[in-house]
């Protein structure tokens, strides 16, 4: 089987389909074709200076365009793409699915602080039923 594949690669050397997967240099066009097939329009490759498959490039996530991502084309295609924010969201969705939660309905992580009057009124309420709350202001 391996020898048949080697013969096919040697016979098709002019069209070069086998050489791509066997460690030969990958052109910028081939990389962009593979990246767009995998990620669609998720990443912006406009500022990319492509030198080789193993030389870092600068790309930008279109969902989280906070800063440029420096990653090799090889790692970009092998991983989730390189955006740490997208990776974080993906991991949260996966954990929520495992825990049986619904990812679509999430509360914001940061809540607005309570007004001072409400916070003081909450502090004056007993914490345990039947127990009186101690007014810390009167102890001074």
How far apart are the C-alpha atoms of 93 and 95, rounded to whole Å? 6
Q: How far is CA 65 from CA 69, 75, 78, 88, 137, in A?
A: 9, 19, 21, 15, 49
What's the whole-number mean pLDDT along residues 107-119? Answer: 57
For the entire predicted model, the pTM comes to: 0.53
Question: What residues pair up with 59 in beta bridges, in sequence order?
Answer: 69
- What value does the mean pLDDT of the chain take? 74
95-110 per-position pLDDT tens digit: 988 887 654 455 555 5
What's the pLDDT at 115?
Answer: 60
CA quadruple 79, 82, 86, 90: dihedral, nearest 10 = 20
Q: How far is CA 77 from CA 29, 43, 55, 61, in A?
A: 14, 12, 13, 14
44-95 per-position pLDDT tens digit: 999 999 999 999 999 999 999 988 999 999 999 998 889 999 999 999 999 9
Confidence category of residue 116, pLDDT binned at 50, 70, 90: low
Write down the domain spans for the chain: 2-105
Query: Which segments within 28-102 are labelled E, that is strand?
Result: 43-44, 57-61, 69-71
**C-alpha triplet 14, 15, 20: angle, nearest 5°:** 105
């Amino acid at each position: 089987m391996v020898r048949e594949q080697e013969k096919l690669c040697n016979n098709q050397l002019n069209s070069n389909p086998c050489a791509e997967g066997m460690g030969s240099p990958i052109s910028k066009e081939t990389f962009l074709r593979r990246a767009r097939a995998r990620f669609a329009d998720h990443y912006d490759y406009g500022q990319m200076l492509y030198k080789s498959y193993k030389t870092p490039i600068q790309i930008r996530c279109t969902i989280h365009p906070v800063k440029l991502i420096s990653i090799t084309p090889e790692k970009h295609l092998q991983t989730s793409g390189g955006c740490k924010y997208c990776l974080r969201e993906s991991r949260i969705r996966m954990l929520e699915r495992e825990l049986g939660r619904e990812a679509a309905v999430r509360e914001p992580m940061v809540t607005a602080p309570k007004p001072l009057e409400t916070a003081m009124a909450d502090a004056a309420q007993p914490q345990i039923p039947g127990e009186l709350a101690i007014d810390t202001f009167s102890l001074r």
